[in-house]
């Protein structure tokens, strides 16, 4: 009898332990499924956010050119505005910017911020314009004009995208400049420049020449030529930012790639580590455009090599923030930076360094293409 009870008790214990083990396994499996589901949801959210960001950047191309800014800058401004007003639509954000651009000169109180504040308070665009001093008829007419301008800007982008190859923008007066800054141009060491060197107003400072030298060019500080060159460079910058992207490269290093002419884009920063080959495939008129939303950085001793009739003068780097060429980098193309350009020791550039802010050099060689 005792044996029977012991066997029964032992069996019950074993069964209980088995049930507990099964329950623990089930809980662990459920937790694993929950973690997986959360990871999948987070990945899906990230993918949706990236797709939405890409859609926004595409939608902002037209008005970015009109407003002389970049799609990335508008995207950042839109994200900030949405943080304050989650109900703000992309269309109303675009309207606010275009209306401020169209009306601001005549009505100083009509700014993008003022219109967005009105929308945040619950007013419509028309009601906001009336609260800022326009009559109902004037507000209606202004909104129609803004819609028309937006459609025209989008159409110009679509028309340019329909061309079989990327077209080089005009650099205007900036074409003769190897180096152009908007605040200061600073050099250390025996930098050799072939082409004009200048800084536009209100910048007034060029230092380091000598020991730096200028060949087949002139140093210009805040004169009409430098100022016009800066305006032309900014116009070219906007034109580059407005081009339709053929090939997204976000998150991919440019090193080790062989790229034919086209428009390549980064929704964040761009990095070059090693060698990038730009292969024109026998087309000496081939044009490369690199649209970079934030920074461009090259690693030490990296290089851009032109191949099969490719020309450095037909390469354009539109940089949404700062560009930095690493020590010993051999770079090619026209760098148009929204802020600054820094060339570290021994870096060389077959092209142009055109910045809205500072250009800093250290024992470099820069040759503006003929």
Q: Are residues 220 and 245 in the same domain?
A: yes
**Closest alpha carbon to 332 in 362, 356, 298:** 298
Q: Which of 106, 130, 161 is the last residue of a domain?
A: 161
346 and 242 in a common domain: yes
Same domain, 202 and 71: no
181 & 142 share domain: no
**For residues 70 and 76, what is the distance between their CA atoms, to the nearest angstrom?**
10
If asked whether residues 156 and 181 sit together in one domain, one would say no
Q: Where are the alpha helices (DSSP H) in 207-291?
A: 224-241
Residues 119 and 131 sit within 8 Å (Cβ to Cβ): no
pTM: 0.63
Is residue 131 assigned to a domain? yes
Secondary structure string (H, E, C) spanning 85-111: CCCCCHHHHHHHHHHHHHHCCCCCCCC
Which residues form the domain of 126? 62-161
Q: Are residue 96 and residue 147 in the same domain, yes or no?
A: yes
Based on the domain organization, do 147 and 209 belong to the same domain? no
Same domain, 215 and 153: no
The two tokens of residue 139 are 């507000």
320 and 189 within one domain? yes
Note whether residue 299 is domain-resident: yes
Residue 9 lies inside a defined structural domain of this protein: no
Contacts of 345 (CB under 8 A, 6+ apart): 189, 327, 328, 362, 363
Last residue of a domain, one of 131, 161, 191: 161
Whether residues 231 and 343 share a domain: the answer is yes
The total number of structural domains in the chain stands at 2
- Rounded Cα–Cα distance for residues 158 and 242 (Å): 10
Say if residue 181 is in the same domain as residue 157.
no
| Residue appearing with tokens 């926004």 | 56
pLDDT at 149: 82
Q: Of 122, 120, 140, 121, nearest to 130 (Cα)?
A: 140
Question: Is residue 306 included in any domain, yes or no?
Answer: yes
Q: Which of 193, 191, 197 is nearest to 177 (CA)?
A: 197
229 located within any domain: yes
3-state helix, strand, coil in the chain (%, to 5): 45, 25, 30
User: What pLDDT is attached to residue 164?
Assistant: 43
Dihedral angle sign, alpha carbons of residues 246, 74, 315, 249: negative
Region label for 161, one of left (φ > 0), alpha (ψ between -120 and 50) or beta (otherwise) = alpha
Q: Residues 187, 144: one domain?
A: no
In a domain, 55, yes or no: no
Is the residue at 4 inside a domain?
no
193: which strand partners?
214, 366
One digit per residue, the tens of pLDDT, for the chain of length 370 reads: 554 555 445 555 556 555 655 666 666 677 766 666 566 566 566 677 777 777 777 778 777 766 767 787 888 889 999 999 998 999 999 999 999 988 888 888 999 999 999 999 999 999 999 999 999 999 999 999 889 888 877 766 665 444 445 788 999 999 999 999 999 999 999 999 999 999 998 877 899 999 999 999 999 999 999 999 999 999 999 999 989 998 999 999 999 999 999 999 999 999 999 999 999 999 999 999 999 999 999 999 999 999 999 999 999 999 999 999 999 999 999 999 999 999 999 999 999 999 999 999 999 999 999 7
pLDDT given for residue 28 in this prediction: 66
The count of residues in the chain is 370
pLDDT value of position 3: 47
| pLDDT reported for residue 165 | 56
Element (H, E) at 298: strand 296-298
Residue 26 lies in a domain: no
CA 10 to centroid of chain Cα atoms: 71
Domain boundary residue among 112, 130, 161? Answer: 161
């Amino acid at each position: 009898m005792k044996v029977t009870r012991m066997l029964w008790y032992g069996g019950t214990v074993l069964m209980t332990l088995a049930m507990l083990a099964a329950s623990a396994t089930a809980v662990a499996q459920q937790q694993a499924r929950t973690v997986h589901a959360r990871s999948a949801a987070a990945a899906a959210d990230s993918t949706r956010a990236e797709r939405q960001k890409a859609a926004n950047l595409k939608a902002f191309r037209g008005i970015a050119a009109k407003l002389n800014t970049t799609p990335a800058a508008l995207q950042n401004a839109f994200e900030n505005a949405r943080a304050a007003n989650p109900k703000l639509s992309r269309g109303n954000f675009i309207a606010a910017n275009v209306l401020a651009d169209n009306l601001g000169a005549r009505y100083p109180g009509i700014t993008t911020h003022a219109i967005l504040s009105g929308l945040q308070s619950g007013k419509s665009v028309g009601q906001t314009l009336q609260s800022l001093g326009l009559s109902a008829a004037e507000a209606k007419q202004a909104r129609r004009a803004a819609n028309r301008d937006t459609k025209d800007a989008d159409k110009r982008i679509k028309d340019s995208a329909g061309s079989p190859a990327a077209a080089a923008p005009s650099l205007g007066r900036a074409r003769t400049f190897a180096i152009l800054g908007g605040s200061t141009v600073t050099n250390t060491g025996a930098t050799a420049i072939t082409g004009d060197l200048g800084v536009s107003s209100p910048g007034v400072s060029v230092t380091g020449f000598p020991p730096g030298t200028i060949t087949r060019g002139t140093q210009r500080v805040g004169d009409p030529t430098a100022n016009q060159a800066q305006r032309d460079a900014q116009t070219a910058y906007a034109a580059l930012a407005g081009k339709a992207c053929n090939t997204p490269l976000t998150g991919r290093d440019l090193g080790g790639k062989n790229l034919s002419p086209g428009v390549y884009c980064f929704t964040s920063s761009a990095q070059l580590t090693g060698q990038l080959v730009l292969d024109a495939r026998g087309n000496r008129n081939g044009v490369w455009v690199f649209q970079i939303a934030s920074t461009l950085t090259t690693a030490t001793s990296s290089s851009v090599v032109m191949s099969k009739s490719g020309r450095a003068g037909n390469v354009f780097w539109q940089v949404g923030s700062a560009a930095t060429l690493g020590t010993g980098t051999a770079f090619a193309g026209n760098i148009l930076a929204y802020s600054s350009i820094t060339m570290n020791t021994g870096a060389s550039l077959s092209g142009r360094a055109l910045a809205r802010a500072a250009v800093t050099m250290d024992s470099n060689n820069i040759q503006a293409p003929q």
